[in-house]
Amino acid sequence: AQRVTQPEKLLSVFKGAPVELKCNYSYSGSPELFWYVQYSRQRLQLLLRHISRESIKGFTADLNKGETSFHLKKPFAQEEDSAMYYCALSGGASGTYKYIFGTGTRLKVLA
């Protein structure tokens, strides 16, 4: 079954500490992986996607096909990183193009 798992509902870290938000997926094929972020009172927006291999706001995510993981990392957390983070995948097989989101992790960066 296609599934995205984010094991942590809430992650609290101190400002300046490293952050890692975990994401594991289950998919029979090679999906596209994304991280979306929802800041307070703002719309859900794309943070980064694995196909771009980019770093946004200091965040990076590496796709590990062996472990079927796409963990989000940042070396030094900032207070403005506090938000809800969703890992998502899209997969196309036989002409279907669904998106599957994880349950989300709320990141709180403490001063």
Interface residue list for other proteins (CB under 8 A): 6, 9, 29-32, 36, 43-46, 49, 51, 86, 88-92, 96-104
Token output for 102: 């994880």
Asked if 30 and 50 touch (Cβ cutoff 8 Å), the reply is no
CB of 23 to other proteins, least distance (A): 12
Nearer to other proteins, 15 or 84 (CB): 84
User: Cβ neighbours of residue 91 under 8 Å, at least 6 residues apart?
Assistant: 2, 27, 29, 31, 32, 97, 98, 100
Nearer to other proteins, 66 or 97 (CB): 97
CB of 76 to other proteins, least distance (A): 26
Nearer to other proteins, 19 or 87 (CB): 87
56 bridge partner residues: 59
